[in-house]
Amino acid sequence: MAVAKDFSGFKARELPKGEYFSPGHRACQGCGGALAIRLILKAIGNRVIIASATGCMEIISSPFPQTAWEVPWIHVAFENAAAVASGVEAALKALMRKGKLKKEKIFVLAIAGDGGTADIGLQALSGALERGHDFVYVCIDNEAYMNTGIQRSSSTPFGARTTTSPAGKKSIGQMTNKKNVAEIAVAHHIPYVATVCPSHYIDLMNKAKKAALISGPAYIHCLSPCPTGWRCAPNLSIEIGRLAVETGVFPLYEVINGKYKIQYPHRRLKPVREYLQLQGRFRHLTDEYIELIQKKVNEEMARLRAMEKFGSFYETVMANL
């Protein structure tokens, strides 16, 4: 297996102390995305080059002439974070081969929001995954275009109210289902795909480190609770992230070489209403729509659990060929 064997996971008492995402950035109060980036950088360390697409995390971290990044960072257009990251990786490889740079492991990270991943940057992401560059793509998914004022993206879940999918007499908000980009990444047969949420921070840091240590492309899908856009109190953003995981709305799993493993939820699912009722963007939903969402969540969890079972079955079949 390509996962580096010497990494056995972070311990709660011995988390790395380094901060590579400095205070003074302009994120809203209680921003889940800023926390996710801080934890990811903590896990990966400072030997990293980051390409960041336009989006919340770019806007808040680099108000000219200041920057919150303490690692090399480049801002690129909305659609090409993955393309620039693959260029950086190819350049590093060439410079090291020619002896112009000292040979060492420098991680390459592409960071984009859900709009920069699921809508605008999908082709660049697909191309980079297909070419097999050794980089990590992190999608900070806050489920709408938050920095321009909460417009729907293809990652907005069913029933959510945004400014371009308003709720009213003739509409229940977003009418389509959330695009599952993690599954699209799995379909490229890349070595590592994972979903993370900052509420489960050890899980997030372990997966970020694993994704970086692996050789070949890795994709991380991070749910980042957004108090501004989800219409909730800023102190609840971690709690909402935790409920998203525990209700099964956003299960945390990893796919290593096509084999699924679910980390959370490992107990019985909480009712999805607990997650929805804390957020103003779902306030208009009636019981029948909540039932519908619950049904979809149950189906998706059943599918994931079946995939997990199928993984071990598949492995025994392949071993006995």
Partner 1 sequence: MISWQKLNLGATITEPGNARQFLTGDWRTQRPVLDKDACIRCGRCWVYCPEAAYKEDGDGYFSCDLNYCKGCGICAQECPVGAITMVLEE
Residues within the interface to partner 1 (CB under 8 A):
15, 17, 19-27, 29-32, 34-35, 38-39, 61-71, 198, 201, 227, 233-239
Q: Which is nearer to partner 1, 23 or 99 (CB)?
A: 23
Where is 75: in which H helix or E strand?
A: strand 73-76
Nearer to partner 1, 67 or 177 (CB): 67
DSSP reduced 3-state for 186: helix
**Closest by Cα among 285, 279, 204 to 237:** 279
Q: 275 is written with which tokens?
A: 């997650």
Smallest distance from partner 1 to CB 68, Å: 4
Closest separation in Å from C-beta 40 to partner 1: 13
CB nearer to partner 1: pick between 51 and 167:
51
> Do 17 and 45 contact (CB within 8 A), yes or no?
no
Shortest reach from residue 55's CB to partner 1, in Å = 16
**Identity of the residue, 25 or 221, whose beta carbon is nearer to partner 1 in the bound complex:** 25
Residue partners of 190: CB distance under 8 A and separation at least 6: 129, 132, 216, 217, 218, 219
| Least Cβ distance, residue 207 to partner 1 (angstroms) | 16
DSSP category for residue 172: B
For β-strands 218-223 and 259-264, DSSP reports them as: unpaired
Crossing angle of helices 122-131 and 81-97, in 10° steps, is 30
CB of 186 to partner 1, least distance (A): 29
Q: Which residue has the tokens 């049904």?
A: 295
Q: Is the peptide bond before 265 cis (omega within 30 degrees of 0)?
A: yes
**Which of 118/232 has CB closer to partner 1?**
232
- Minimum Å gap between C-beta 126 and partner 1 is 29
Residue with Cβ nearer partner 1 (66 or 277): 66
Residues 6+ apart with CB under 8 A from 208: 39, 40, 43, 44, 136, 138, 196, 220
Which two three-digit tokens encode residue 317? 């079949």
DSSP-H helix ranges across 14-55:
32-44
CB of 69 to partner 1, least distance (A): 7
Q: Which is nearer to partner 1, 80 or 165 (CB)?
A: 80
